[in-house]
Amino acid sequence: MYEGILPLWKEKGMTSHDCVFRLRKILRMKRIGHTGTLDPDVEGVLPICLGRATKTAEYVTDAGKTYEAVVRLGRATETEDASGETVEEDLSDKRIPADEVRRVLASLTGNIVQTPPMYSAVKVNGRKLYEYARKGIEVERPSRTVTIRRMELLSGPELFEGAEPGFPIRVECGKGTYIRTLAVRIGSELGYPAHMESLVRTASGSFTAKDCLTLGEVAERQEAGTLTDAILPLERALAGFPFVEADPGLLRQVLNGQVLDAHPLLEENARIVFTAGYRAVAVYRLHPEKPAKMKPEKMFGPPMEERENK
């Protein structure tokens, strides 16, 4: 039985659910959860939560992500990526300076409004949008504000030219951002139909590609008995919050899940993490109904090794 965060490199051709299904067989354990869906055509960082760390999944999902994508001009598709049928085409000869691309990327940095694509897992009236799309049913989709923290043009020529020029970008963004929808928006700002040709997630929260193992490598390490070395502590998933080591009196209150006077750190932070022996025991947030109070949002209980030694 394992506990912690296993940073997985999801390979193309698999869903995030496929990865969890395979890992349950490899690790011979059920308490496993992923931290944000990646489309089958997308590869990249997919942190997997094991054991008690499954309680931290929402924090990893809510953390920022970094992607590297190729935007291809000249053709728009029904899925907004390279797998879809063409719905608009402009194969005229194009000459687009790299500085013009950089200008557009800068203009889309910050908070922008996106409408989720029809081929997505967003639910409308209890059904996922792609279920409607596969039946040819168009439904009204709720727009939402997403955050683009940084966007840059990666290496390439200073002039993109031809009927279907493409260029690589890196995007650092918040939760819920659709990079393929962003690719279409970039094309629109440049004056052409566009789609996302390829996409790789290079970071999820504090987890990066260098932390990751493929499913094949996980199986090899499991067989060799060395997988534990690759599993990171659940505290890594909480790295965006301040940690407070609780003294014995406070620890008793925290372990009992008591409502407490708000900690000063909550003036500038959404949550704080109480630790015992520098191991997370609870996440606290401001109480929504009681001013100047705080309440537990997640309770982790003792680490697995302590439970096993009882």
**Positions marked catalytic:** 39
Neighbours of 21 (CB within 10 A): 12
Backbone angles phi, psi at 135, to 5 degrees: -100, 5
75: its two tokens: 């053709």
- Amino acid (one-letter) located at 32: I
At 222 the three-state DSSP class reads: helix
At 295 the three-state DSSP class reads: strand
Taken in order 50, 56, 62, 64, the sign of the CA dihedral is negative
Judge whether 5 and 233 are in contact, CB under 8 Å: yes
Q: CB under 8 Å to 11, separation ≥6 — which residues?
A: 43, 214, 215
Are β-strands 279-286 and 271-276 bridged in parallel, bridged antiparallel, or unpaired? antiparallel
> Burial letters for 79-115: b for 16+ Cβ neighbours within 10 Å, e otherwise?
bbbbebeeeeebeeebebeeeebeebbeeebeebebe
Distance CA 228, CA 297 (A): 28
